[in-house]
Amino acid sequence: MQQSNLPTIGTFIEAAGGFFGGIVRVHDVLHAVIWAPKAQGETKLPWHTDDETEIAGANSFFDSVANTVAMAEAGSPLALWAQGLEINGHCDWAIPARDVLELGYRHLKPTAQEHFGYRSGDNPSSVPAGYPYTSDASVQQTSVTVFQAGGPEAFDDTWHWSSTQYSALNAWFQSFRYGSQGNSRKSCEGRARAVRLIQLTD
């Protein structure tokens, strides 16, 4: 996919199978973030049923695929769900890494709710790099109608799992209500939206 041909945020790209959600750097290579359609690509599951064991290879803040593979190999129901998806002809869906998930909030925030997450929003992997949210609603409600609260593609205004492990006990999440980035016990059920990452060319 050519970077110069990318559409505006929130546009459905038929060939990609989902909605364009920004650009992220994965191992120094730029990728387009493609969000799965909500009806087929969203779930509510625990990150893992074992929250006493750290999973090797699931700690990346940007590599959604590597995290998801490591999670699945360890038996994560969330990762196994993502790997079993076939949406619009594509089978390479993953659970978004922390910095990828942050772009979902930054670009497609569903509500006009003010932020309450201190120091949340830092994203060195995004292009351009993201900085912590401020209390003056620095991230506005998306102008993309289908992603606004009540729309068919809107992220629920609750927290969503990332594929980035925080510790043996917890994993990172992103709140789509307050913008906070925190962590929760892996055995808790949480929302998740599948994502694809497509390498970009000049």
CA-closest candidate to residue 174, choices 165, 166, 183: 183
Q: List pLDDT tens digits, range 36-71.
A: 999 999 999 999 999 889 999 999 999 999 999 999
pLDDT > 70? residue 3: yes
Q: What is the mean pLDDT of residues 190-197?
A: 98
Peptide bond before residue 7 is cis, with ω within 30 degrees of 0: no
Q: Residue 115: its pLDDT value, please?
A: 79
Q: Residue 51: its pLDDT value, please?
A: 87
Question: What percent of the chain has a predicted confidence (pLDDT) above 90?
Answer: 87
Total domains present in the chain: 1
Q: What is the mean pLDDT of residues 99-105?
A: 98
Q: Residue 189: its pLDDT value, please?
A: 97
pLDDT > 80? residue 138: no
Q: What is the mean pLDDT of residues 26-37?
A: 98
Domain of 43? 3-199
Lowest mean pLDDT, pick from 23-32, 61-70, 106-115, 166-175: 106-115
**CA distance to 95, 104, 178, 179, per residue, from 139 (Å):** 23, 11, 11, 9
DSSP state at residue 169: S
Question: What percent of the chain has a predicted confidence (pLDDT) above 70?
Answer: 98
pLDDT > 70? residue 136: no
Q: Residue 58: its pLDDT value, please?
A: 98
150's CB contacts (< 8 A; 6+ apart) are none
